[in-house]
Amino acid sequence: MAESDTRFRGKTIVITGAGGQFGREGCLFFAKRGAKIAALDLSTKGLEETAKQVKEAVATAEILTLECNVTDVTSVQNAITATVEKFQTIDLLWNNAGYQGQIKPTLEYDPADFSRVLNINVTGMFIVLQAVAKQMVKQSPSDAYSIVNTASVAGLRGTPAMVAYASSKAAVLAMTVSCSKDLAPNKIRVNAISPALIGPGFMWTRQNELHAQSGSPYFATDPEVVAKNKINSVPLKRLGSIEEVVKSVAFLLSDDSSYMTGTNLVVDGGMSSGLKA
């Protein structure tokens, strides 16, 4: 199926947070479909593992790994310059790097951590978006330029004990809409993806542990009960998979969504729809 999917063949995609679970799955997904990958992350070890898995899956894959601090303008510009030197153009961006921050009630939340979350998730995302968009504008006009920002259902409905993360993702949604309007004359589409309750895996398990330890009255003190209660809140009664998130990102990046910009695609099994099951 991957070989028959020609939507991304020959295109260059920049993926931030490429050393993490979501970014790594994205690198694998797009490499299997013939895209050239610029994988950005602050973790050299994470990038090495991503490149290893990509090469094991696709021996002929073109992947460039770049250590990058998304909150630093010079670091980001150096990564973009290196990408263009290697692949000539940039067609797509999955703006995925992020930081969850503390899981603590508002009265206990450290303002320094709040600032760090906003710096990475909002300022960092904007720095990358702006740098990539500037490069796209320099290139030949194309209807195929597309950017997807990783937001979250937390930014739509708020999450107890995650005030910084929820605030940052709400800002990402506003950024997406504003940038989509500014960049539409340049034929650059900008959309967002909002996942929730994705697992299983370390991230899912650890978040449930931290929620259980947070002291918030909204969560049980047993992580297994926290997990069960969360899944019971989902109309589809299951977790989503990272693959399902990546497939949704691919839809927004591809020409399949060619008349969509400024849109937020929610991937949460119906949890935020208001449906009761």
Q: How far apart are CA 107 and CA 14, in angstroms?
A: 38
- Whether 234 and 244 have beta carbons less than 8 Å apart is answered as no
Q: Return the number of other C-beta atoms located less than 10 Å from residue 150's C-beta.
A: 24
**Where do we find the tokens 């979250």?**
152
Which of the residues 99, 109, 145, 165 is marked catalytic? 165
Helices (H), the chain: 21-32, 44-57, 73-87, 111-118, 125-138, 154-157, 163-183, 202-213, 223-232, 242-253
With tokens 């693959």, the residue in question is 243
Burial-class residue 211 by CB neighbours within 10 Å (0-12, 13-18, 19+). Answer: buried
Does the annotation count 259 as an active-site position?
no
Distance of CA 192 to the CA centre of its chain: 9
Question: In the structure encoding, which two tokens stand for residue 145, read together?
Answer: 């330029």
- Residues forming the active site: 165
